[in-house]
Structure 1
Amino acid sequence: MHRWIDIETPHGPIRGWRAEPAGPSKGAVLVIQEIFGVNPHMRSVADRLADAGFVALAPSLFDPVEHGVELDYSDAGIQRARALVTALGFPRAMDLLNASAEKLQMEGLRVGAVGFCWGGTLAYLCATRLSLPAVCYYGARSVPFLDEHAGAPLMFHFGADDPSIPAADIEQHREKQPQAQVFVYEHTGHAFNRDVDPKVYNAQAAQTAWTRTLDFLETQLR
């Protein structure tokens, strides 16, 4: 079953896209959006996780600022998205993710996180601040937080040709989080998992990263 649900948070109710497996679950995964909201692509990621056996929940993080935001990948969409990210801020975003994780934990589910772009950094903070095992896809804003202690296992996916995450930044992830799994995909740029956007999608890198992600989640949420 795939549907919108309501999530109570310290900043008021927000929506979340919840996808459930057909059979018994392997655990639960927070799907943390790119800057474009819980749009069709993010919902499809949650649906794929449900197909793989997980309960997936994608909280609509912009709801406290503007309800129901779903943006495209145009220049105008990017500008609006960046303004929403600034207006929300990291502290409120983490409050929303904590409330979402607690909702799943109250159901007796072990919870992990998978995030993309801005959400990749938020997924990293789920490991350091909420002690959730986390998979971080091309989180370009994580460097200022890399001295935080991770209370749960971490996996990072980066494109070698991502201009927003240069090689020196990737190396800082390795140095400051040496226990984490760090994967770099050659001839691959930013947002390589975004299969609805042919400008950035890299099928080979996306499939390899997805297989690694599912293996990680199955191990950590077992």
Structure 2
Amino acid sequence: MTDETLVAPDGHTLAAHVLAPPGARHGLVVVQEIFGVNSHIRNVCARFAARGYAVVAPALFDRVERGVSLGYTAEDVARGRELRGRVEDRGTMSDIDAAAARLSALVGGGRIGIVGYCWGGTVSWWGATKTRHFAAASCWYGGGIAATREAAPHCPVQMHFGELDTSIPMTDVEAIRDARPEVEIYVYDGAQHGFGCDERGSYSAPDAKLAQERTLEFFARHLA
């Protein structure tokens, strides 16, 4: 399985990248950065599927432009930010509802989690706080988390931040830690924003490997 069309609760149709390994009992909604469901996100999905998870990555930009798959140049960043600015949060969460429903069907009602990167890291936090679909949420460098840190999550949450992320100051991370002491928070010394993406100049292989190991252990603990 690769690409499907989902129908959100508000009637919007959207594409989703779907992988369903035979016998998958648990699943993950994988939430895109501001670059769409691009090659990086598809590779992330493949890596989780290789560990036995069913995966659904909804195309959240389909509400404003279909088929978005950007790279990581300065022009791509500007384009991604422009598209993100046109997407309403309510619509995004409706799309997450659709992805969670499809994923639940794929795993026969087994436990599901959510993981996201950049903008998707924030959306993963919203998945934990605004919905009750998920048994665990992993949020990688979500810049909007601090603004909604007072919201209580309905499931265990893990977060990953780079120490030198210029878009997420350490004061924000500490504010999240103070507001939500129950959340697992990891800070990677010397790492920048997007350190987990091997298509970015900010990629840090050792930090990405450690964060992924922690993410896999976290999901194994809470989705089993």
In which range does the TM-score fall when normalised by the shorter chain? Answer: over 0.9
**Alignment-derived partner of residue 149 in structure 2:** 146
Alpha-carbon contact 1:5-1:15 (below 8 Å) kept: yes
Alpha-carbon contact 1:161-1:188 (below 8 Å) kept: yes
Calculate the TM-score normalised by the size of structure 1: 0.95
Alignment of 1:31-180 (within 5 A): 31-106=30-105, 107-131=108-132, 132=134, 133-180=136-183
Alpha-carbon contact 1:11-1:64 (below 8 Å) kept: no
Alignment of 1:184-199 (within 5 A): 184-197=187-200, 199=201
Matched residue type, 1:58: A
Matched residue type, 1:13: T
**Alignment-derived partner of residue 4 in structure 2:** 5
Matched residue type, 2:121: G
Residue 196 of structure 1 aligns to a residue in which SS?
Answer: coil
Identity score, percent: 34
Tell whether 2:202 aligns with 1:203.
no
Q: Distance in 1 between matches of 2:130 and 2:90?
A: 11
CA-based RMSD of the aligned residues comes to 1.1
Residue 29 of structure 1 aligns to a residue in which SS?
Answer: strand
Alpha-carbon contact 2:25-2:53 (below 8 Å) kept: yes
Question: How far has the Cα of 1:11 moved from its partner?
Answer: 4.4
Q: Deviations over 1:34-87 (max 9, x none)?
A: 000000000000010000110011100001111110111112111111111111
Residue 214 of structure 2 aligns to a residue in which SS?
Answer: helix
Residue 163 of structure 1 aligns to a residue in which SS?
Answer: coil
Calculate the TM-score normalised by the size of structure 2: 0.94
* Residues 11, 81 of structure 1: alpha-carbon distance in 2 compared, 3 angstrom cutoff: farther
Matched residue type, 2:19: A
Point out where structure 2 has 5 or more consecutive residues left out of the alignment.
Answer: none
